[in-house]
Amino acid sequence: MDTFFRLGCLLTAGAAVLVPALSTPANSATLCVNPAGAGGCYASIQSAVNHASANDVINVARGIYKEGVVIGIPLSLNGAGGGGSTIDAAGHPNGVLIDGFNHPGLSNVTVKGFTVENALFEGILAVSANNVIISNNQVINNDTSPGLNFTGELTGCPGQPAYETDETGDCGGAIHLIGTSNSTVSGNTIAGNADGLLLSDETAVSQNNLVTQNTVVDNPKECGIVLASHPPVGAAPPNLPAHHGVIGNTIQFNLSQGNGVQVGGSGVGLFSDGAGPGTVANNTIQYNILVGNGLGGIALHTHVGPAFGAPADNMSNNKMIGNYIAGNLADLDDTATPGSVGINLNSGGGGSPINGTVITGNIISDEDVDVAINTPAPVALHQNSLLGRKIGVANVCMFDHATICTGSIDATNNYWGCPGGPGAPGCTSINPAYSQNITFTPFLTQPPPF
């Protein structure tokens, strides 16, 4: 409980500094929307957007607006907050679409203070855009397209645009950034969707985005927060080209809880889909609370590589720092773990080496395996508190039936739950069945000072 309080304080302390300040250009106008269209205001949000000029501000009064909104110019769209301004997108693909795909160069769009619900696919979708701010919204009960089911195929959401590839099972989730950069998603409540928040790369690189202080809970069919590399728009099998990449994003101070419990989805996932060489690199996952999810607290999966005679994915230099992880479920299939897992760093059967991962300062408890690793590369983890009281660190390469098991694991200078170290009474242990190439001494005799 003390850990939750510490992280809660960090969440509160960070609120004043993490979200960029907003400014309104001197030549902008302010438009208004209310359900009656009274007082010189528009009766629909889309009407106001259609009549707006670049950099205008649109203030939307309390009420229910049954529509889907498409934005193609820089503007600020402000709801009343507190659940007062509701976009009910029933029958529409999205509640809000920030469309830089059909409006190249789109930047400087803000969407804040709305409840967005009932869309067939994403509640809020930003495509090929820059400097987008999505903040303080409630994005709930979207992904209503019938028959949502994860199949592993590249298509499966009829009616989605062609630039959305590899979208079965979640159809984009609640909030989705595609090929979007230098943007902030902050302070949103995301619940009751197929999955929570997705960053992907179908149209361009998704890079330098900040995802912070969001509450992502009870999205049962996929993960809470996902960084996923998907095939480029227009690509077709069997010769799928290299993906654009999900690079240099920061995921911090979020709560991800109770996601993916129906089919197996992690608190935070970093994935390449196996359909051509993907890139999910140089991202930072820090100071999040990741509890009760269906596929581990943090899961990093690569599914292709030299073992299949394919180019390797690039899943390098990702950082997992200072997260609280507890009570998640097991990873399955080609990235399997022998029980519930806190962090799973896994090359699957393809053997793409995962290089340069930083795992430090995390507190992991109530798991069968605190950290599971399968990759033909050196991995180091230090200064973590491994409190699961079962297996602290496991080399699961052979458990996964991988054919390339040449990696080494430096698990020195971690705290294993008691001063005696791995295997001491009351401590987390190293299981001999999963101990290949693990170095764990010296160990810490007290928790790291974080």
**258-308, pLDDT tens digit by residue?**
999 988 899 999 999 888 899 999 999 999 999 999 999 999 999 899 999
Q: What is the pLDDT of residue 351?
A: 94
| pLDDT band at residue 148 using 50, 70 and 90 as cut-offs | low
> What is the rounded CA–CA span in Å between residue 115 and residue 83?
5
**180, pLDDT greater than 90:** yes
| Burial annotation 10-31 (CB, 10 A radius, 16+ → b, else e) | bbeebeeebbeeeeeeeebeeb
| Burial annotation 227-258 (CB, 10 A radius, 16+ → b, else e) | bbbbbbbebeeeebebbbbbbbbbbbbbbbbb
**428, pLDDT greater than 90:** yes
Asked if 174 contacts 122 with a C-beta cutoff of 8 angstroms, the reply is yes
**227, pLDDT greater than 90:** yes
For 2-18+30-295, the fitting CATH number among 2.60.40, 2.160.20, 1.10.287, 2.40.50 is 2.160.20
Q: What is the pLDDT of residue 11?
A: 42
**8, pLDDT greater than 90:** no
**19, pLDDT greater than 50:** no
- In the predicted model, what is the mean pLDDT of residues 368-381? 98
* Span 48-105, pLDDT tens digits: 999 999 999 999 999 999 999 999 999 999 999 998 999 999 999 999 999 999 999 9
**206, pLDDT greater than 90:** yes
Higher-confidence residue of 150 and 5: namely 150
> What is the rounded CA–CA span in Å between residue 390 and residue 64?
51
What percent of the chain clears pLDDT 90, i.e. is strictly above it? 80
Residue 49: φ, ψ to 5°: -60, -40
Place of tokens 């769009």: 109
- In the predicted model, what is the mean pLDDT of residues 252-260? 97
Alpha carbon separation from 340 to 83, 106, 160, 354 (Å, rounded):
36, 43, 34, 22
| pLDDT band at residue 12 using 50, 70 and 90 as cut-offs | very low
Neighbours of 323 (CB within 10 A): 28
Peptide bond into 447 cis (omega under 30): no
Rg over alpha carbons for the chain, rounded to the nearest Å, is 22
Largest pairwise CA distance in the chain = 74
Q: What is the pLDDT of residue 5?
A: 29
Transcribe 76-89 into DSSP letters.
EEE--STT-EEEE-
What percent of the chain clears pLDDT 70, i.e. is strictly above it? 91
Higher-confidence residue of 152 and 219: namely 219
**9, pLDDT greater than 70:** no
Residue 251: φ, ψ to 5°: -115, 110
101-105, 142-146, 187-191, 370-374 — which is least confidently predicted? 142-146
231-235, 327-331, 363-367, 438-442 — which is least confidently predicted? 231-235
The structure's pTM equals 0.93
* Span 393-413, pLDDT tens digits: 999 999 999 999 999 999 999
> What is the rounded CA–CA span in Å between residue 130 and residue 103?
12
**18, pLDDT greater than 50:** no
Q: What is the mean pLDDT of the chain?
A: 91
All structural domains of the chain with their residue ranges: 2-18+30-295
Q: What is the pLDDT of residue 434?
A: 97
**164, pLDDT greater than 90:** no
- In the predicted model, what is the mean pLDDT of residues 147-151? 62
- In the predicted model, what is the mean pLDDT of residues 329-347? 95
Q: What is the pLDDT of residue 70?
A: 98
